[in-house]
Amino acid sequence: MKKIFVAAILASLAFPLTAQDVQKQIDRYRELLADGNPAELLEMRGEDLWKQKRGPKNASMEACDLGLGAGKVAGVNAVLPRYFADVDRVMDLESRIVHCEVTLQGFTMAELTKRPHSLNQSERQTDHEALTAYVVGQSRGAKVNLPQSHPKERESFLRGEKMFFFKGGPYDFACATCHGVDGQRIRLQDLPNFQKADNAQRAFTTWPAYRVSQGAMRTMQWRLLDCFRQQRLPEMEFLSPASIDLITYMGVKGKDGTMDAPAIKR
């Protein structure tokens, strides 16, 4: 049933832009949100991928330790990024998924990080996006509570905090320029203020998200890549140290929020 519904929505993407009555459209959009999220299809594809034997080692991802023990998927996104003793560093969800694909399945880092994000709605979503969608979906309802007792976890937060306020580039922007004041908007887009617990919770718990304007689900790594683009900094490397520290910072700020991702966004 849901598949038919989603297919209908995807087919309608080709319609011309005729909308005039703003409020009516927003109401319909809201109604739709309650009905279903196209990311659910991707979650299903991700679940199949997760359980499939893949890669040179012909293994599934089911033995992957995402932070709550090998094979445990439920709730992991609410405690990530966190410290992993086997690599002696802090990893975010997407780094850990890639790590397991390398160690369990035998894929190379280079092939997995070459093109993690699909380009646009006309292109099939990547396996990385599907796996991330599946795992994140298994955290719905979990309370965000990133561990901060290991020194490396705390240091990741402290670095993330400094990076959040780091002003640089030709526009002199920091994350805090756009996300440090209440009630700020760029054009009509509301900007969460990460110094406010409720704002930070909403932002952290709703990513990854299905982006209606792009017809695709986007991961948190993509969100940072795109905000750094708006900040006029160079192109962020996938799984880079800065990305992990910033996600730690946002996750700690979003403590006690309830995971509800992949969400649906404009």
Partner 1 sequence: MKIKFLPFAAVAFVLFTGGCATMQPGPTAVDTSREVESLARRFPPGAKAPTDAEIVALLKASFKDSPSAKLDRLDQTPLQMACTEASRSGKPLDEKLRDGLQAAALASVKYPADGKYLGDWKRGKAIAQNGRGLQYTDKVGDVAGGNCYACHQIDKKEIAHGNIGPSLTGYGKLRGQTEPIVKYTWARIWNSHSFNACANMPRFGDAGILTEAQIKDVMALLLDPESPVNQ
Active site residues: 227
Nearer to partner 1, 1 or 56 (CB): 1
Residue 212 binding: pick among partner 1, ligand HEC, none (C-beta 5-8 Å cut-off by kind)? partner 1
Exactly one of 37, 95, 126, 193 binds partner 1 (CB under 8 A); that residue is 193
Structure tokens at 32: 């739709």
User: 71 CB contacts (<8 Å, ≥6 apart)?
Assistant: 62, 63, 64, 65
Q: What x-and-dash track marks residues 134-173 binding partner 1 by CB under 8 A? A: --------------xx-xx-xx--xx-xxx-xxxxxxxxx
Considering the rule CB under 6 A, would residue 231 count as an interface residue with ligand HEC?
A: yes
Q: Phi then psi for 205, rounded to 5 degrees?
A: -80, -10
Separation between Cα atoms, residue 41 and residue 54, nearest integer Å? 20
The secondary structure of residue 195, as a DSSP letter, is: T
Which amino acid is located at 219 in the chain? T
Distance between alpha carbon 18 and the CA centroid of its chain, in Å? Answer: 31
For residue 19, the minimal CB distance to partner 1 (Å) is 4
Instruction: List 209's β-bridge partners, or say none.
Output: 218, 263
223 binds, among partner 1, ligand HEC, none (CB under 5 to 8 A by kind): ligand HEC
What are phi and psi for residue 54, nearest 5 degrees? -140, 170
Which amino acid is it at 178?
C
Site string for partner 1, 1-40 (x = CB under 8 A): x--xx--xxxxxx-xxxxx--xx-xx-xx-xx--x-----
Q: Which residue number, 60 or 241, has a Cβ lying nearer to partner 1?
A: 241
Q: Closest CB to partner 1 among 30 and 56?
A: 30
- Nearer to ligand HEC (CB atom), residue 105 or residue 199: 199
| Helix/strand/coil for 245 | helix
Burial of 216 (0-12, 13-18, 19+ CB in 10 A): buried
CA-to-CA distance for 7 and 253, rounded, in angstroms? 37
Which is closer to ligand HEC, CB of 142 or CB of 175? 175
Q: Does 59 bind ligand HEC (CB under 6 A)?
A: no
Asked if 93 and 46 touch (Cβ cutoff 8 Å), the reply is no
From the CB of 55, what's the least distance to partner 1, in Å? 27
Phi and psi at 101, nearest 5°, equal: -65, -30
Q: How far is the CB of 85 from ligand HEC (least distance, A)?
A: 27
Q: Annotate each residue in 140-159 with x if it binds ligand HEC (CB under 6 A) or - if it does not, as one string.
A: --------------------
- CA diameter of the chain: 56
Which of 91, 246 has the CB closer to ligand HEC?
246
Q: Which element (helix H / strand E) includes 136?
A: helix 127-137
Structure tokens at 237: 């490397």
The interface partner of residue 206, options being ligand HEC, partner 1, none and the CB cut-off 5 to 8 Å by kind, is ligand HEC
Interface residues with ligand HEC (CB under 6 A) are 173, 175, 177-179, 186, 189, 191-192, 202-203, 206-207, 223-224, 227-228, 230-231, 246, 250, 265-266
